Chains A and B, each alone.
Chain A
C-alpha cells in the first residue's frame, strides 16, 4: 500500500523498511518494553540517539512494544520536545517566555530569521542551524536568553546574536576544511 512520507513530502512504497541502526535503541527497548507507562521515556531516548524520531524507528518501536503507531504518534505530536524532522548541527532554542518577551525577544527572533534566512521551526539549507522557539528556559533574570546546543547565551542583543551566529558558522566551516585536507 502506498503511504505519505512526511520527511520527503512524496508518496513512496515500502516505507516500512528499517534504514536506521537499532543496536543502541534495542538496549533501551529491552529495558522499558515491559514496563507500562514508558512511552515518553522510550521516545526521549530514541530522540537522543537519532536526533529526531524517524518514521521507520517509530514503526520499529511499535513492533517491539506492541503499541499501535497512532498512539505513539499521538504522544510524539502532543509534547513539544519531540521532533519528526532532523535538526541542523546547531539547534537554537530561543526563549519566548514573559520576561524575554518584555525585554525584546521578538527583535532577537527577527534578527536570527534575517541572519539565517529561516523561520521558526526551519533548518538552514546547509543543514547548519535550526531555530526553535521555546516557552521558557527559566533564566528570566538574564533575559533575553537563547540556548545553542546546550550552551546558554544571556542578555543577548541583535548585534551579539549576529556575532554569535557568524562565529559558529566560521567554526563549522573551519572544521570542514580541516577534514577536507586530512
Chain B
C-alpha cells in the first residue's frame, strides 16, 4: 500500500504541499507505517492537487482537486475501503483523455518518484546506456537514432542524428554535450515537467549522446526560474554518481562521463545555441554568425552538441525499443511523439504527449475538452513568440513539422495556447512583439529597432489611434526584420504579426477604421458604463477616477460621463460589486 502525491511545480502551486503535510500528520497520528511517495506532474494540471492510492495488488485510485481537510477520508478509503464523503475521484472522461495519448518522453513523469533512482531503475532505467556501452559502437548509436527519425524537440526540428554525427566526426577534444533547458517560450512548460518528474531519463539520454559523439562532460543549462527542476536534477546527479552511472569507468567499460548544472539568469535569446554557449562562458548571451557550428566550435571553442530536454528524454526509449518502434509512430517526415503544454482558454489544461499526425481538433476538443465556458474557439497559438496563431478553419491540420509550418506558425517547443472569442488577435500580436522587443539582445539593428517600431504601431492600433497604411507598414517591417536578423529570435519575431494579419486582417481593420475591438478586449476602445442593478453607490470608483468622470450621490447609482472618460479601466478594477460593464 502506498500513497503518491503529485509534487510538480503546478501541483505545489495548487496546494499539494499542504495536502502532503495533512496526510503525513494523519499517518503519524494513526501510527501507521505506510509510505508516502512523491511524483512529478502527471499532466492533468487542471485537477491538481492529485493523490493516488495504490493498493498492494497494484490497483490505483486517483483523487483529484484534493484539499488538506480530506486527508483522513483518503486514509479511511485506503485502509478500510470506506467511501469518501467529499473527496473526488478522477472521472472516466479525464481517464479517457489520458488514454488517447502515447507517452514516451513522459513515460515516467507522474509515475515514479523523481527523487529516488531505484524507481527509475525499476522501470528499465540505465539499461539503454549499459547496452550502448557494452554492445554498440558510437556509430551504431547514431545509426539507431537515424532510423528512429528523431528531430530536435526544441522547435527547429533538425534531425538529431545529423548533429550527433557532425560532432562525432570532429577530431578535436575535449567535446561537450549540452542539454538546453532554457525554456523561455512564455506559455510552455514541457521541459520543466520532464526535469521535475523524470530527471534520470534526461541524464541517461545525455550519457548516450555523450558516448555517441565522444564527450566526457555534459552540461545542463536550466532556467533559474525553475528552482524545483534544479533541485531534483541535483539529487538525481548525486544518486547516479553514488550508483556508479556517472564518473569513471562506467559499467567497467572505460567510459568516463559526468554532468554539471548551469543555472541561467533569464534571457529568452539564450535558447539559441550560440547565445547559450556565450552564457555558459559567463558572458552576455548574444548569438554569433554560423558557421562555424557548435559541432565545430562550441563551448570554449571545442566541438559541442546541444539538444533540447525533450529530445534527450526520448533517447533511452529509442535505444531500448529500437529506432524502428519510434519511427512506426507519427507521419512520414515527423516521427514519434511530441509533448505539448495545453493552456489558455481550455477546459482541461495540462501536459499531453501525442503521436505526430494527430489533428489540432483532436488535441483541443478530444483531449483538452474544448473551450472554457463553452465559448467559441477562435485560434490556437503555437510556437510562442516565434510562432503564430492558427484559426478555426485550419483545425483539421495534422500536427507535424511541415503541416504546422505551412500554416505560418511553427511546431516550436510545444506551447499551445488556446484562445476564444474574447481574445483580441491584434492584442496578441502586440503581446508577443512586446516580449521579443524586450528580449532582443540588441546585436542586429533590424531586430533591435524593427521590433520596437512594430510594437509602437501595434500599440497605437490597440489604443485606437491606428492610421491608414499601418497594416502595410507592418508588413514591410516584418519582411525587413526577418531578412536582417542574425538568429532565429529576430528571424521569427514577425511571425505572430504575419499570421494574425493573414487570418484576422478584419480585426486589424476594425481597430483602425472603425475604432472598435471585435473581441471587446482592448481597453481604450471600450465604452464603460455602470450597471444600475449592481451598483450600490459606494463611491469607490468615483474616488479613483483620474478625470472625475464618475458622479453620483452616496448609496445611489453612479454614472460615467463619456465625454470625460479616458478608458483607463480603473473603475472596473476597483469595483468590488462587478457593476462596471465594458463593451
Chain B residues whose CB sits within 8 angstroms of the CB of A101 once the complex forms: 186, 431
Contact B224 A102 (CB under 8 A): no
Q: Nearest CB to that of B224 among chain A residues?
A: A81
A17 within 8 A of B: no
Contact A114 B345 (CB under 8 A): no
In the complex where A37-B280, A141-B46 touch, is A135 in contact with B184 (Cβ < 8 A)? yes
For chain B, which range describes its interface: under 10, 10 to 19, 20 to 34, or 35 or more residues?
Answer: 35 or more
Q: Nearest CB to that of B285 among chain A residues?
A: A78
Q: Nearest CB to that of B283 among chain A residues?
A: A75
B282 within 8 A of A: yes
Query: Which of A8-16, A55-63, A92-100, A169-177 makes up part of the contact surface?
Result: A92-100
A to B contact number (C-beta, < 8 Å): 146
Whole-angstrom CA separation of A36 from B13 in the bound complex: 37
In the complex where A40-B282, A98-B344, A142-B48 touch, is A80 in contact with B267 (Cβ < 8 A)? yes
A123 within 8 A of B: no
Contact B186 A81 (CB under 8 A): no
Contact B268 A135 (CB under 8 A): yes
Q: Nearest CB to that of A137 among chain B residues?
A: B225
Contact B13 A139 (CB under 8 A): yes
Chain A residues whose CB sits within 8 angstroms of the CB of B192 once the complex forms: 138
Binary A-proximity of B39-66 (CB < 8 A = 1, otherwise 0): 0000001101000000000000000000
CB distance from A120 to the nearest CB of B (A): 12
Query: Which of B446-454, B472-480, B567-575 makes up part of the contact surface?
Result: B567-575
Chain B residues whose CB sits within 8 angstroms of the CB of A136 once the complex forms: 184-189, 225
Chain A residues whose CB sits within 8 angstroms of the CB of B187 once the complex forms: 97-99, 136, 140
Chain B residues whose CB sits within 8 angstroms of the CB of A142 once the complex forms: 10, 13-14, 45, 48
B279 within 8 A of A: yes
For chain A, which range describes its interface: under 10, 10 to 19, 20 to 34, or 35 or more residues?
Answer: 35 or more
Contact A103 B344 (CB under 8 A): yes
Contact B265 A81 (CB under 8 A): yes
Chain A residues whose CB sits within 8 angstroms of the CB of B265 once the complex forms: 40, 43-44, 79-82
Binary A-proximity of B397-419 (CB < 8 A = 1, otherwise 0): 00000000000000000010101
Whole-angstrom CA separation of A152 from B343 in the bound complex: 17
Chain A residues whose CB sits within 8 angstroms of the CB of B570 once the complex forms: 110, 114
Chain A residues whose CB sits within 8 angstroms of the CB of B285 once the complex forms: 78-79
Q: Nearest CB to that of B45 among chain A residues?
A: A141
Chain B residues whose CB sits within 8 angstroms of the CB of A159 once the complex forms: 576
Chain B residues whose CB sits within 8 angstroms of the CB of A139 once the complex forms: 9-10, 13, 45, 189
Whole-angstrom CA separation of A145 from B349 in the bound complex: 14
Interface residue from B13, B48, B186 paired with A97 (Cβ < 8 Å): B186
Q: Nearest CB to that of B435 among chain A residues?
A: A135
Contact B349 A141 (CB under 8 A): yes
Contact B431 A78 (CB under 8 A): no
A143 within 8 A of B: yes
Interface residues of A in 18-49 (CB under 8 A from B): 36-41, 43-44
Q: Nearest CB to that of A108 among chain B residues?
A: B573
Contact B282 A114 (CB under 8 A): no
Chain B residues whose CB sits within 8 angstroms of the CB of A154 once the complex forms: 10, 13-15
Whole-angstrom CA separation of A170 from B423 in the bound complex: 37
Contact A98 B282 (CB under 8 A): no
A50 within 8 A of B: no
Whole-angstrom CA separation of A53 from B431 in the bound complex: 30
Contact B268 A102 (CB under 8 A): no
Contact A110 B573 (CB under 8 A): yes
In the complex where A80-B266, A99-B187, A99-B344 touch, is A39 in contact with B224 (Cβ < 8 A)? no
Binary B-proximity of A137-169 (CB < 8 A = 1, otherwise 0): 111111101000010111000110000000000
Interface residues of B in 558-583 (CB under 8 A from A): 569-570, 573-574, 576
CB distance from A93 to the nearest CB of B (A): 9
CB distance from A153 to the nearest CB of B (A): 7
Q: Nearest CB to that of A38 among chain B residues?
A: B282
Whole-angstrom CA separation of A96 from B385 in the bound complex: 13
Chain B residues whose CB sits within 8 angstroms of the CB of A153 once the complex forms: 13
Chain A residues whose CB sits within 8 angstroms of the CB of B225 once the complex forms: 134, 136-138
Contact B349 A78 (CB under 8 A): no
Q: Nearest CB to that of A77 among chain B residues?
A: B284
Contact B343 A143 (CB under 8 A): yes
Report which A residues bind B (CB closer than 8 A).
36-41, 43-44, 74-75, 78-82, 96-99, 101-103, 107, 110-111, 114, 134-143, 145, 150, 152-154, 158-159
